[in-house]
Amino acid sequence: MSGKLFVALDLGTSSCRALAFNQRGEIIARKSLILAPKRPQNGLSFYDGNELLRAQKNVLNSLLTQVGAQNVRSISVSCQRSTVVLWHRQTGEPLAPVLTWEDGRAAAEAENAPVSQAEVHTITGLYKTPYFSAPKIAWCLKNCPPVKQAAGEKNLLIGPVASYFIWHLTGGKTFAADPTLAQRMLLWDIRTQTWSADLCKAFGVAPETLPEIRPSAADYGTYEFEQVKIPLCVCVGDQQAAAWNRLKSGQTLINYGTGAFLLHNAGRKNICLPGLLTSLSASCKTPKSDYLLEAPVNAAGSAFQWLGAQGISFDEKKIDSLCALSQTPVWFLPALGGLGAPYWDFSLSPVVAGLSPLTQKADWVAGTVRGIAFLLADIVAYLRANQVEVTGPVAVSGGLTHLNYLMQFQAGLLQLPLVLRGESESTALGAAHLAADYLQESLQVSTNGETGSFLPNLSVEDAKNLHQKWQAFLTWCKAQPK
């Protein structure tokens, strides 16, 4: 095997993946390991730090052995955001459970921190919740004796999963993160691009325990494998990696997975909108980033799993055909875990209306698909109401994009064309492109890029009327007894 290969690691919630791309952007080898977090009870989600590190190293080393380390130009590391690791500066040993972004045990620390939601949102672009890192760190400082001891001895290091992994790959020489990951720690000031002294104080975190900040694509040291030194060129959050080269200023992307996620690139203007998250785009060589408006929808693919749990069983491969049979779709609010942006109402549960003796399984399924599309349309309507221009085409990706009914209905509601992105490994590919851009190497966009489009098939008036009916239904849902 010859040529320059770009290796990218995607350290996700339930698996570790390593992929090798050739200069045509094609995947020529991949390795993966399933490593789901432990979830012993509701609200808890964590890894053993040593198990996590072993899995990541095994995946990387196995791939390097297969393709030959001498053929690898660079290694990129992307990871889930908000999962946090606390480890010992001298030994590298993890000192606490690795709490994932899903872990909610730090709710009290988030609530009791002496800083308001408005202040947190202004400084970080995020909200004071236990799902971001700072409350988790505060919980560990209070509840894990090894963390307290290391902090007292000035031997505590705290960082995202990618920082922990890179620190070990470089033998402790590189302790760094990029702004996309730093921001998710809820301690990063997106206005000044520095750690916030006020937030560090509010959560009891010593700034010297936090990583140095470098651009997403920068010099992160080298990894020596079988006597070959391979540059580590990228450290980045998964969503920003997936958006690299796909989300220019003014553009919008929607990813449909277990939940759904809308990203809008606001350019160099820091737009702080209540109800939405603001984050930073990936950066190459310099710390300059665009501001991204982020809007999560809590339930998308999981809504179909919920239907199955209620006894409404169906083959997920037949969702499109069932939707085509529906004459009167139900009105369904897929509020699993409450509502995300722009409402952030965690008191709501799934609500259904419009049932009749003639309601069929197809009406339930079509109503669920429409509910997902309506929630995303609410986000776009909120952006437009706040003078954020959303124009097409909107890029769409993720597992649910194979549902033509969903894509067509979404295009109609938004009155915008949707362009389907077909990359199955968009996070890893984006991370590899970041490395190539940093090294000024050629890495083409794979031909498995744009794979289809959907144009609006509803009139402007029909789309408006449907959305008004949805808003009336949503108001009714909120009025129901909790």
Over the stretch 73-99, which tens digit does the pLDDT of each residue have?
999 999 999 999 999 999 999 999 999
d(CA 260, CA 435) in angstroms, rounded, equals 27
279, part of any domain: yes
23: domain range?
5-237
Report yes or no on 88 lying in a domain.
yes
Tell me the pLDDT tens digit for each residue of 427-479: 899 999 999 999 999 887 654 455 789 999 999 999 999 999 999 999 999 99
pLDDT in tens, 379-404: 999 999 999 999 989 999 888 999 99
Q: What percent of the chain has pLDDT over 90?
A: 80
Tell whether 355 is covered by a domain. Answer: yes
Q: Which residues is 176 bridged to in the sheet?
A: 212
Average pLDDT along the chain: 93
Residue 425 maps to a domain: no
Mean pLDDT of 262-280: 92
> Residue for token digits 């995607």?
10
Q: What is the 3 state secondary structure string of the chain?
A: CCCCEEEEEEECCCEEEEEEECCCCCEEEEEEEECCCECCCCCCCEECHHHHHHHHHHHHHHHHHHHCHHHEEEEEEEECCCCEEEEECCCCCECCCEECCCCCCCHHHHHHCCCCHHHHHHHHCCCCCCCCHHHHHHHHHHHCHHHHHHHHCCCEEEEEHHHHHHHHHCCCCCCEECHHHHHHHCCEECCCCEECHHHHHHHCCCHHHCCEECCCECCCCEEEECCEEEEEEEEEEHHHHHHCCCCCCCCEEEEECCCEEEEEECCCCCCCCCCCEEEECCCECCCCCCEEEEEEECCCHHHHHHHHHCCCCCCHHHHHHHHHHCCCCCEEECCCCCECCCCCECCCCCEEECCCCCCCHHHHHHHHHHHHHHHHHHHHHHHHHCCCCCCCCEEEECHHHHCHHHHHHHHHHHCCCEEEECCCCHHHHHHHHHHHHHHCCCCCCCCCCEEEEECCCCCHHHHHHHHHHHHHHHHHHHHCCC
Domain final residue pick, 203, 237, 271 = 237
The amino acid sitting at 452 is G
Average pLDDT over residues 160-181: 97
Q: Of 220, 237, 254, at which residue does a domain stop?
A: 237
Together in a domain, 250 and 233:
no
Residue 45 and residue 143 in one domain: yes
Asked whether 187 and 210 are in contact (CB, 8 A), the reply is yes
pLDDT digits (tens, 9 = 90+) for 1-18: 445 999 999 998 888 999
Burial 147-184 (b: 16+ CB within 10 A, else e): beebbeeeebbbbbbbbbbbbbbbeeebbbbbbbbbbb
Taking a C-beta distance cutoff of 8 angstroms, is the pair 260, 375 a contact? yes
Q: Are residues 225 and 254 in the same domain?
A: no
Residue identified by tokens 């140095």 is 212
* Residue 431 counted as domain residue: no
The token pair at 194 is 């520095």
- Residue 278: inside a domain: yes
Q: Please give the Cα distance from 266 to 288 (Å, whole number).
A: 14
| 86 and 208 housed in the same domain | yes
pLDDT at 321 exceeding the cut of 90: yes
Sort strands 418-421 and 450-454 into parallel, antiparallel or unpaired.
Answer: antiparallel
Q: Report the domain count for the chain.
A: 2
Tell whether 202 and 320 lie within a shared domain: no
Contacts 24+ apart (CB under 8 A), 114-121: 114/202, 115/198, 115/199, 115/202, 119/198, 120/186, 120/199, 121/272, 121/274
For residue 188, give both structure tokens. Answer: 């990063």
Say if residue 257 is exposed, middle or buried (CB neighbours under 10 Å; 0-12, 13-18, 19+): middle
Residues 20 and 103 in one domain: yes
Residue 449 confidence (pLDDT): 52
Q: State how far the Cα of 413 lies from the Cα of 217, in Å rounded to an integer.
A: 37
Please report the pLDDT score of residue 1 as a whole number.
43
The 10s digit of each residue's pLDDT in 187-241 is 999 999 999 999 999 999 999 999 999 999 999 999 999 999 999 999 999 889 9
C-beta neighbour count of 441 within 10 angstroms: 13
Instruction: Provide the CATH number for the domain around residue 297.
Output: 3.30.420.40
Q: Is residue 443 part of a domain?
A: no
Residues 295 and 404 in one domain: yes
Q: What is the pLDDT of residue 425?
A: 81
Please, which residues have CB within 8 angstroms of residue 440's CB and are 6 or more apart in sequence?
A: none
Identity of the amino acid at 158:
I
Same-domain check for residues 190 and 217: yes
- Segment 126-149 shows an average pLDDT of 96
Axis crossing angle, helix 404-414 with helix 460-479, rounded to the nearest 10: 100
CA angle 301, 162, 106 (to 5 degrees): 65
Same structural domain, 230 and 263: no
User: Do 195 and 286 fall into the same domain?
Assistant: no
Would you call the peptide bond into 342 cis, given omega within 30 degrees of 0 as the criterion? yes
Co-location of 365 and 399 in the same domain: yes
CB atoms within 10 A of CB 360: 14
347: confidence class by pLDDT, cuts 50, 70, 90: confident
Residue 88 pLDDT: 98
Domain membership flag for residue 155: yes
How far are the Cα atoms of 88, 300, 318, 376 from residue 260, in angstroms, in the given order? 36, 6, 21, 8
The C-alpha angle with vertex 411 and arms to 407 and 415, in degrees rounded to 5, equals: 175
Give the domain-ending residue among 208, 237, 266. Answer: 237
**pLDDT (0 to 100) of residue 2:** 45
Residues 459 and 326 in one domain: yes
pLDDT at residue 444 in the model? 79
CB-CB contact of 231 with 174 (8 Å) = no
